[in-house]
Structure 1
Amino acid sequence: MEINFIAIYDGSADANFLFASDSIKDCLGWSPEELLGQPGYILTHPEEREALALIHSNNVKDERMSSIVSYRARHKDGHYVMIDNVIHFCYNLLISTNFTLLSNDSIKHFMRTNSADESYLIHPDGALRLTDNRSSSQSNIKHLLSKAYPWNVNANLTNMQEPRFCLVLNRYSVHANIVFASSMCEEMVGMNQIYCIGDSIYQYVAEKDVDIVRHKIEITKTKGVISKLRFNWSRKKKKTTNDNEETLLNIEAVISCTHDGLVLVARLIAPPKTIRID
């Protein structure tokens, strides 16, 4: 059976662990508490770290909504486990869903790699290659290798990052209840980071878009793909007893799924539109 878990890293060059879901212990033997604050590279194979650093730099520099790399992760008892690591860049965080890779020929691996923006494989000797079939793959690798370092000497990002927020949703509820929200949700869509916990994601989706969002979430859960969607986020405001306004925020999002939850990362793609609700 494919074991999987969620991990959240900071946006620094070390990609320090901020969170790991409980299933990381089933996959790699480590408890979440043992990894918090540790650099993500401590779980990687020494021969693959240079390639992983290049991918990490590229993800941060280009703010990739979704990329996937297959590499060896170190189990607590010392052996290595091949995993698919799906990364969603989210402003100052990297949100990842991670899957034990039993075979490069598995259907779920194929589905993930073909639904990500970019997909990489690191060979045992540390060589890096793109795993898609585009004719531009070789030039893309050269572009990746020539990327400027996105951090300065103080490990601070050198460019302003696009605002994005992340949600983790309960995959076992038909309501897709929110179990975690990153702080940018307040600034971007006016949703309280604390009080939204337990709410259904569908409470915040414009009524006309609920069915498509529900469909995409169900597809992500059953097929194992990285889903991309656009929908209107609804922010309602009561002005008077008989006068309500709804602000529609056009959202672009990516969703991936583990046994521990659904991960959704969103960005704004158009100015807000305010309408009156009769």
Structure 2
Amino acid sequence: MSLKIQEPYHPKAKILAWTEFNIADIDRFLLIFQSPNANEIYPYLEKMLELNSSYLKPKILLDLHYYALRFAINSKFSKLQISAFLSILRSIHKTNEETPFENYEIILKYFNQLIICHSIQRPPFCVEIFDNQTSMKVINFITETYLRHYKLYKYVFTPIISLELHCGEKAVEYEDSELDNDSDLKTDSNSELRVKTALSIGTSIKIQESNQSEEVELNCEVKNFFREVISEYMHSEDVKKQLNILEEERIALFTQKAREELTKSTKKK
């Protein structure tokens, strides 16, 4: 059975306040979070979000929502801000889990657009729910807790796609009757040249599968070769350091761009 895999796409940012959590939901969140004991909060939160913490994926989402709500309440967000903040976080996660392919840059751009959409007053497309200080709190929290661990969420919540490379020897036959009668390629002195020329002038080619045992043996050799090369590359300390440096630079660059865009949008008001 073939499964259709969603390719990365650019979602359109829109106002998300009250779309997933209404004021009654936020009141319930505020009520259950009055308890300082997390063990008492989790069962109620699990029921409200309809998550089953006995499985890995719902348990991860439950933790994500718990710490997001705890952050919003400690930061003294209003009910409207809490609703928008949670919906932004959930929308980013939904975009991430919709495709197993790399879409980190798309998510960064989408997140930046969502922040702007909720930070300036240009109805009906943008509403100023977050001021500058609150916007930076949202940016820092989602960047540090979700975007920094983007690949971990991608690994857990998306199917793993593996490429199986099949290689084998092919026997090539051609029809001499379709070659030019004046061609010197009818001699058997250079079979390789005959095949290349036959292909170049459009001669019909018949492909025959090689012996099954030889094909399996060759496939194993190729797979082992690629495994050794990839394993050696990924376990290199220099490669790990370079990847960590690149990740830090990307996050720092995104945070800087988000601040600049937010400042520009605020000045235009």
TM-score, length-scaled by structure 2 = 0.23
Query: Which of the pair is proportionally richer in strand?
Result: 1
Structure of higher RCO (CA pairs closer than 8 Å, 6+ residues apart): 2
- Between structure 1 and structure 2, the one with the greater Rg is 2
